[in-house]
Structure 1
């Protein structure tokens, strides 16, 4: 294999590696966006649960009715 063929082979490999790296980066960016959105949703759900939990706790703390 002469020098020119080796250079062409290396350039070809580099081009494929660049494409692969870009594809992986695109997937990683999409996953990070999805993760960020899920974390926001989880935080909102936890906040709602805490707000609703306060409503139920006040009902449980009340004394039972006299007929018990």
Structure 2
């Protein structure tokens, strides 16, 4: 049977690895949340740009748009 000291050392090592893993995962989740926020802002800006473009005299119907070769 292992000595008590060896078991405690083993538990301390495992705890240290788990703390490092949790910190790494926390950093990843935080970075992904920031990326999602940025993507949502970009989508909102694109949506607003599309809305304002659609109100510039065109009703969104492609028949009323002038083809690019004219």
TM-score range, shorter chain: 0.7 to 0.9
Q: Which consecutive segments of 4 or more residues in structure 1 shift more than 3 A?
A: none
Listed as ranges, the matches of 1:37-52 within 5 Å are 37-52=38-53
- Number of residue equivalences: 61
Aligned-pair Cα RMSD in Å: 1.9
Structure 1 pair 59–9 and aligned structure 2 pair: CA distance change class (3 A):
closer
Q: In the TM superposition, what whole-angstrom CA distance separates every residue of 1:38-66 from its partner, at most 9, and x where no partner exists?
A: 00010000001011112221887x8xxxx
User: Which protein has greater RCO, CA pairs closer than 8 Å, 6+ apart?
Assistant: 2
**Which stretches in structure 1 are left out of the alignment for 5+ residues?**
63-68
Listed as ranges, the matches of 1:4-43 within 5 Å are 4-43=5-44
More helix by share: 1
SS in 2 for 1:28: helix
For the pair shown, which has the larger CA radius of gyration, 1 or 2? 1
Structure 1 pair 20–58 and aligned structure 2 pair: CA distance change class (3 A):
closer
